Each structure stands twice: as C-alpha cells, then as structure tokens.
Copies of this chain bind each other. A is one copy, B any other.
Amino acid sequence: MLKISKKADYALMALQHIATVQSGDVTPGRVVNTKEIAEEYNIPLELLAKVLQTLAKNALIESHNGPKGGYLLARRAHQITIAQILESIEGPLGITDCSHEKNGEFCMQRENCHIRTPLLKVQDSIAQLLNNMTLQDMMGGTPLITIQSPTAQGVER
C-alpha cells in the first residue's frame, strides 16, 4: 500500500544520476542523455524518455537538443525536493479522493464523514516529510540520518 509508481521511481533514479554526474564527476556540468540513464539502470528507454520530458516540462531539468544533447538540472540539487519530483510525475499529493475536491464537488460519503480531518493531518505530515528531503539527500556519499534501528543494517549483499 501507499506505493509510488514506477515512473516516479525512474524519475528519482534519473535525477539522482544527473545530479551526481553534474556535481562530482571529472566532467562537471556535462549533459546526460536518456540512453545513458536507461542502460545504467535497465529502464525501458521510451518510458524513461517520457518521464524526463515531463520533468523538463515542470522545470526540474533543462533539455538540450541535437547531437551531444541531453539533460541537466535546472536548479541545484539541494533546491529540488522529493515532493516536487513525485508531484511532477504523479500529480498532487492526496491520501484520499476527497483531498482536493473542487468547489461543490463532494464525495458520496462527505455528509457524515468523520475521518476526513484526521486523514488530512496525516497527509500534511507526509507532505512535510517529502518537502524536507531534497535530491541532495539522495546523492552518493551523503547517507541520511538513519531512523531505522542500528541492528537492522547490513542487509546489502
């Protein structure tokens, strides 16, 4: 439950990759093309292309056409939040159907619904969480402050 889509997953991977190449590499500022990312992470090329296009449309990355073209970050990594990335791909955050109802348009249960308010609080907490984490926090040598119990480590093979 509460799963994020594959597209959003791909978006995170791609942005993380672009950010890493752009900042720490031997060739800083170099553009990254779709194919490179697709091959690196085994993502279907065409699908990834669509994802990157969407991200470009939402001004998270900039595209450069032609040979030796590709994408690069529109802002610095610490200025791009996870929430912005996810919302670019999946639309606005909403725990329930009634999260962003337009005026006068209510769900069938609205009359007697007692769970709306507490659920909106949950949603808001999640939104805060995603807004406080940036692309920078996902980059290579910067592991996050772990919340998980220390004993739960060492799962990597």
Give the contact-size bracket for chain A: 35 or more
Bound state CA distance, A138 and B114, in angstroms? Answer: 7
- Nearest chain B CB to A70's CB is how many angstroms away? 18
Kindly state whether residue A121 has any CB partner on chain B within 8 Å: yes
Copy total for this chain? 2
| Contacts A115-B13, A115-B16, A138-B118 given; does A109 touch B2 at CB 8 Å | no
Bound state CA distance, A142 and B128, in angstroms? Answer: 23
Bound state CA distance, A128 and B129, in angstroms? Answer: 12
Q: Which of B92, B121, B139 contacts A146 (CB 8 A)?
A: B121
State the 6 A-B residue pairs at the shortest beta-carbon distance, nearest first: A1-B90, A42-B108, A41-B109, A118-B138, A12-B115, A124-B147
